[in-house]
Amino acid sequence: QQVSTGSLAHQKIDELLREAHERYSDVDDGLLAHYIPILGHADPDLFAIAMSHVGGSVHEVGDCQHEFSIQSIAKMFVYALVVQEHGREVVRERIGVNNTGMPFNSVMAVELNNGHPMNPMVNAGAIATTEMIPGRTSAKKWENVRAGLSAFAGRQLTLDDDVYASESESNERNKAVGRLLKSYRRIEGDPLAAVDVYTRQCSLNVTAYDLAVMGATLADGGVNPVTGQRVVDADVCRDTLAAVATSGLYEHSGDWLFEIGIPAKSGVSGGIVAIAPGKGAIGAFSPPLDIAGNSVKAQLAIGHLSRAMGLNLFASA
């Protein structure tokens, strides 16, 4: 009987995913991110939704095997790895957990806060967080980032060389942010080396399917539900998701939490992953973005599913 109840639930999830995909596939609001030249060439019609359950099943609809660069979504997983390594208080003191109220690449936010990056989900905080990844050289840090994110995904993730090249040629602002952090002594080593590892982590290729599994690892107390491998501790997941709730969608994080009620992290290539602790995660992908840099269709799809599945953390019934 358990088996049939389980498969019924699985059918229901498949149905809801199809419904969300169908409902929003014609939406054509939003713009591609052009400030990283290669992202401006993305196919705006790609649309994928995947859901990974903590029980290990993964459901998908649409272009779920299409690879795209993870961009800012990497920030959430790198943060988890750094908290695992250094402990919550050290990282909290150095990086913070409060929303800046400003765009993700704001230089002003750093200036206004005496060089403190405020949170790990904006570029300043992410560059400072990446610097805390273990490894005496940048090459070693990069290796650890890639291995860590691959463990979250349950497969070997690879660098998109074209995205890395395009972003490296156009990331003057991130270099400025890195140097500003250094001027305030918020970064210990070479700021441009930290920015380079950060740029590589943004250029890792993933699919919506990967995002769902990576998010479900955080929902599952740090154990990848597909591979069974422990990646980080349960306390680290709790702390990471709290930080993601305050700032995962940048200056729109409050609106998101108010409307949808689960922590989510977005990236400028059009991915969003939303995590329902103890239950699972939804990974969605569609390149056109709103003004804050969050995928329009991915937000709609996740919102629909969160309501249909009763995932809002603040709802008592």
The pair of structure tokens assigned to 193 is 């080396």
- Paired sense of beta strands 264-266 and 280-285, if any: unpaired
- Residues in the chain, overall count: 317
Q: Which tokens belong to 262?
A: 């689960």
Q: Is 184 one of the annotated binding-site residues?
A: no
Among 50, 53, 59, 72, which residue sits at the site for ligand GLN (rule: CB under 6 A)? 72
CA distance linking residue 32 with residue 55, whole number of Å: 35
How many chain residues touch ligand GLN (CB under 6 A)?
11
Place of tokens 């070997």: 156
What x-and-dash track marks residues 75-104 binding ligand GLN by CB under 6 A?
A: -----------------------------x
The strand order across the sheet containing 48-53 reads 58-62, 48-53, 280-285, 271-276, 264-266
Is 232 annotated among the ligand-binding residues?
A: no
Q: Binders of ligand GLN among 154-173, rule CB under 6 A? A: 167
Give the x-and-dash track for 269-298 against ligand GLN (CB under 6 A): ------------------------x-----
Least CB distance to ligand GLN at residue 268 (A): 4
Q: What does the radius of gyration of the chain's CA atoms come to, in whole angstroms?
A: 18
**Residue with Cβ nearer ligand GLN (226 or 272):** 272
Alpha-carbon dihedral 312, 53, 228, 72, rounded to 10 degrees: -60
Shortest spacing between CB 291 and ligand GLN, in angstroms = 12
- What is the rounded CA–CA span in Å between residue 241 and residue 58? 21
Pick the binder of ligand GLN from 80, 118, 202, 236 (CB under 6 A).
202
Query: Per CB under 6 A, does 191 bind ligand GLN?
Result: no
Which stretches of the chain bind ligand GLN, using CB under 6 A?
71-72, 104-105, 123, 167, 174, 202, 267-268, 293
Q: Which residues are annotated as a binding site for substrate?
A: 72, 123, 167, 174, 198, 250, 268
